[in-house]
Amino acid sequence: MASHPCEEPDDVQARAEHRAIERRTFLKQAGAVAGLAAAAGWAALAPARWPLSLRDRDGERAKPKPRTLNLPAGGFALESLAAAKLGVARGTDIPKMLRGAIEAIGGLNRFVRTGDVVLVKPNVAFERPAVLGATTNPEVLAALVQLVYEAGAKEVRVVDNPIESPESCFHRSGIYQAAVDTKARVYLPVSGDFETLNVAGATWIENWPFFWRPFQGVDKVIGVAPVKDHNLCRASMTTKNWYGLLGGRRNQFHQDIHGIIADLAFMMRPTFVVLDGTRVLHRCGPTGGNLSDVREGRTIVASTDSLAADAFGWQDLLQRGDEALPNYFALAAARGLGNPDWHALPLREVRVG
């Protein structure tokens, strides 16, 4: 290092040491900057699967992922399908018929415990008066809610997700008034009530918006569905009833209506189901509109096997025993979700006048 002739040796040494410090500082700073640049480059450009990569070319990674939820393993069923029974009640006194049908499969106390929160799922799909048979008979719903409270339930929730104007559908069908009169709590869907439900193994609805809010804290689930003709799947009964818990653009499933119904059976294992055969919409379903398309059925069916209940409804109430069952029966039965051969189930039939 050249020095100035007038510099003292101590000054020269001090200047040399200062330069060394500056170089060291520079190297540290340069190294830090280079390290930061390398880290930033890695995070931005490394392939997405590499560790610590934040690469997101299409923005999908940055989107918040909806949380997915699951129904309880085994659903809400208390017994295996192998132990299922079929209870059939005929008559005109709806409360007695309902009690008779449920007694025939073991009685409500077998299914509902004191303090249970019970969710009841009727069909409220259309803005139609009850006499047109497109929705669950409100008298059947009222009788069911009363029976459930008699069995000691703490709360009964009445739930459905009609596509158009839930308030109007609940009101025109009489379901809202029946629920209010029997102290049930009605859940009308709003967009924030839906969560993504994971149904591992389902074909169409492995991850699909589901009307989740009313299911929180629920102990038992009972479906109560009318008997209806359906122009796509030929019949709409207890298995298809769970369609009303789905959200999203569920109309797209009409392209594979039998597949989606089988998926619904996979999604929901209810405590038991009630097939409301007090009226039968035997033509022009599922919407109906003409009273001449509705006939009196005077029957209520209860079972822990939805497929068996539906098969009974197909043959006995829709009177289509000479036709093959709709395809969804075979699809669901192949997955062990019920037994369409209702004759094989222990059946008890009662007449209540």
Which listed residue (90, 283, 295, 348) binds other proteins by CB under 8 A? 283
User: Residue 168 or residue 319: which is nearer to other proteins going by CB?
Assistant: 168
Residue of 133, 226, 286, 313 that binds other proteins (CB under 8 A): 286
Q: Among 115, 248, 289, 321, which residue interacts with other proteins (rule: CB under 8 A)?
A: 289
Residue 217 sits in the site that holds other proteins (CB under 8 A):
no
| Nearer to other proteins (CB atom), residue 36 or residue 45 | 36
Determine contact, residues 119/222, Cβ cutoff 8 Å: yes
Among 209, 247, 285, 313, binds other proteins (CB under 8 A): 285
Tell me the window of 47-55, 151-159, 194-202, 232-240 that interacts with other proteins (CB under 8 A).
232-240
Burial, 2: exposed, middle or buried (Cβ in 10 Å; 0-12, 13-18, 19+)?
Answer: exposed
For the beta sheet containing 272-281, the strands, ordered from the edge strand earlier in sequence to the opposite edge, are 185-187, 155-159, 117-122, 220-228, 272-281, 294-303, 86-90, 347-351
Residues 108-127 that bind other proteins (CB under 8 A): 125-127
In the region spanning residues 31 to 90, those forming contacts with other proteins, defined by CB under 8 A, are 32
Partnered with residue 209 across adjacent β-strands are: 196
Number of residues that this document lists for the chain: 353
Number of residues that bind other proteins (CB under 8 A): 40
163 binds other proteins (CB under 8 A): yes
Answer yes or no whether residue 131 interacts with other proteins by CB under 8 A.
yes
Q: Are 323 and 109 in contact (CB under 8 A)?
A: no
Q: Does 279 bind other proteins (CB under 8 A)?
A: no
N- to C-terminal Cα separation, the chain: 119
Residue 75 C-beta: closest distance to other proteins, Å: 25
Alpha-carbon dihedral angle through residues 109, 111, 116, 122, given to the nearest 10 degrees? -110
Q: What does the DSSP 8-state code read for residue 57? A: S
Q: Which of 87, 129, 86 is nearest to 281 (CA)?
A: 129
Query: Which of 68, 198, 287, 327 lies at the binding interface for other proteins (CB under 8 A)?
Result: 287
Contact flag: residue 321 with other proteins (CB under 8 A) = no
Assess 21 for contact with other proteins (CB under 8 A): yes
- Could you give the CA distance from residue 106 to residue 175 in angstroms, rounded to a whole number? 27
Query: Cα–Cα distance between 39 and 34 in angstroms, integer?
Result: 8
Pick one of 164, 191, 200, 353: the residue that binds other proteins (CB under 8 A): 164
Q: In the complex, which residues of this chain contact other proteins (CB under 8 A)?
A: 21, 25, 28-29, 32, 125-129, 131-132, 163-164, 167-168, 170-172, 176, 180, 188, 230-233, 236, 251, 254, 257, 283-287, 289-293
